[in-house]
Amino acid sequence: MFNVLLVAAQILVACVGVYQFAISLFGLRKRKARRRHEPKHSFAVIVAAHNEERVIGALLDNLLKLDYPRELYDIFVICDNCTDRTADVVRAYGVHAFERRNPALRGKGHAIEWMLNELWKMPKSYDAVVMFDADNLVSPDFLRCMNDDLCEGHRVIQGYLDTKNPTDSWVTAAYGITYWYCNRLWQLSRTNLGMANFLGGTGMCFETRLLKEMGWGATSLVEDLEFTMRCIKRGIYPVLDYDAKVYDEKPITLRASARQRLRWMQGHFCVARRYFLPLLLDALRERNFIKFDAALYSVTVYNVLIAFLATAALWIDNLLPSANRFASIYEWLPSWTPGAALTLSALQFPAALLLERVKEPRVYAHLLTMPLFLLTWWPITLYAFFTQNNREWSHTQHTRVIRLEEIRGKRVRFNENG
């Protein structure tokens, strides 16, 4: 019976892997040139901040200089349960600081829901709401891109998530590689197929009318994934804007990274429990492939867990002396299959870097440490499974100030020397 379950687990993991690889092939091609529109839509730009006095200034300076008519957007910073001078720094920039005090309901999802309720009470209304994190930086044309998408009739838009500090450590390099891979071979491929994209927690734009119709209602540890699933279930498919860049700061140490990813996986388990079956049933009833893809994505965390347990069982079995070995699906496949599968999986990451024209030599060198980072997902996912009902928000500390000019200047230098 154990062998039957083990083989079934391996087949499931293999099928999901082949499915995603097939989808990724559609990301090799970039879409056609976009249609541009005159600035028309107004935006409420919301920034979620918790004790971010050291980094919030760089973002506000960035947002106040966006290439978009200043009268068409206002900036609101949620100073969520702050115990530092975040609100004072925000006001010094002439930006709206909304201080929220609610230790019982911590986390970005609750803060956003509170801020939206405050926004709806204001006499001034906006066509759309854009959300950032306090440690972000954004491309100058971000709101122009969002305006274009709204003019094209899109209601939920995700910007291109990039990394501010990919060369700080092997951990941040792994984040950068993952982001470039996801943007090109996960998100863009779904864009080219006309499928739904997935929200990434920042650099998100929402039509105001839709937010008022649906309500926010995404207060889990992964509010972005939760809202994505709510949208797709309603037949509203988020889109990716490949030109609207958002630069996000990533943890430098493995310990800080593990804490962040543990929160993500705990939240992902909760979303999977809530949305997998409803989306799968809708997909079958409506013969809707987009909802099937979303349902499959919602249980990615279980796929990682099953892959870990199956692999661990096979490794342990090979290390221990035994007359009766556990069954492996590779026993029934050609001998070259394992090598081919590993090679194709490994090549996706350098391929994504080349397609995205990443020039930083240190990032390519860290492709050698990327497998170690990927392996750390397994114990994190296992621990998240047993602690998935933990709703405590873990804040990532940001203390290093990086400005947009530094990022753009560094990338230009790499491109010139590349």
Q: Which tens digit of pLDDT belongs to each residue from 24-39? A: 999 998 877 788 999 9
Quick one: average pLDDT of 368-395? 90
pLDDT band for position 417 (50/70/90)? very low
Domain locations along the chain: 1-29+40-318+326-418
Per-residue confidence (pLDDT) for residue 414, from 0 to 100: 46
Residues 6+ apart with CB under 8 A from 163: 172, 175, 176, 179, 247, 248, 249, 250
pLDDT at 409: 60
Residue with tokens 């290390």: 319
pLDDT (mean) for 47-72: 95
b/e string for 156-170 if b means 16 or more Cβ within 10 A? bbbbbbbbbbbbbbb
Q: Determine if the pTM surpasses 0.95.
A: no
Q: What is d(CA 68, CA 247) in angstroms, rounded to the nearest whole number? A: 19
- Segment 115-156, tens digit of pLDDT: 999 999 999 999 999 999 999 999 999 999 999 999 999 999
Mean per-residue pLDDT, 379-396: 85
pLDDT-derived band at 178 (thresholds 50, 70, 90) equals very high
Name the more confident of 231 and 324.
231
Cβ atoms of residues 47 and 134 within 8 Å: yes
Residues in the chain: 418
Model confidence band, residue 322 (pLDDT cutoffs 50, 70, 90): low
Model confidence pLDDT, tens digit, residues 201-224: 999 999 999 999 999 999 989 999
Whole-number pLDDT of residue 411: 57
| Strand-pair partners of 160 | 245
Look at residue 413 in the predicted model and tell me its pLDDT: 46
pLDDT band at 326 (very low <50, low <70, confident <90, very high): confident
**How high is the pLDDT of residue 399?**
58
CA–CA distances in Å: residue 148 to residues 38, 187, 192, 200: 8, 19, 18, 20
Helix (H, G, I), strand (E, B) or coil at 64: coil
> In 10 A of CB 111, how many CB atoms?
25
Confidence of residue 356 (pLDDT cuts 50, 70, 90): very high
Element (H, E) at 151: helix 142-151
Is the pLDDT at 162 greater than 50? The verdict is yes
- Averaged pLDDT of the chain: 91
Helix (H) or strand (E) run with residue 290 in it: helix 289-298
Looking at residue 418, its pLDDT comes to 42
Contacts of 92 (CB under 8 A, 6+ apart): none
405 pLDDT more than 80: no
Report how far apart, in Å, the C-alpha atoms of 276 and of each of 129, 217, 233, 272, 370 are: 28, 18, 10, 5, 30
pLDDT tens digits, one per residue of 232-273? 999 999 999 999 999 999 999 999 999 999 999 999 999 999
CATH topology of domain 1-29+40-318+326-418: Spore Coat Polysaccharide Biosynthesis Protein SpsA; Chain A (3.90.550)
Mean of the pLDDT values across residues 296-310? Answer: 95
Contacts of 34 (CB under 8 A, 6+ apart): 148, 243
Separation CA 155–CA 211 (nearest Å): 10
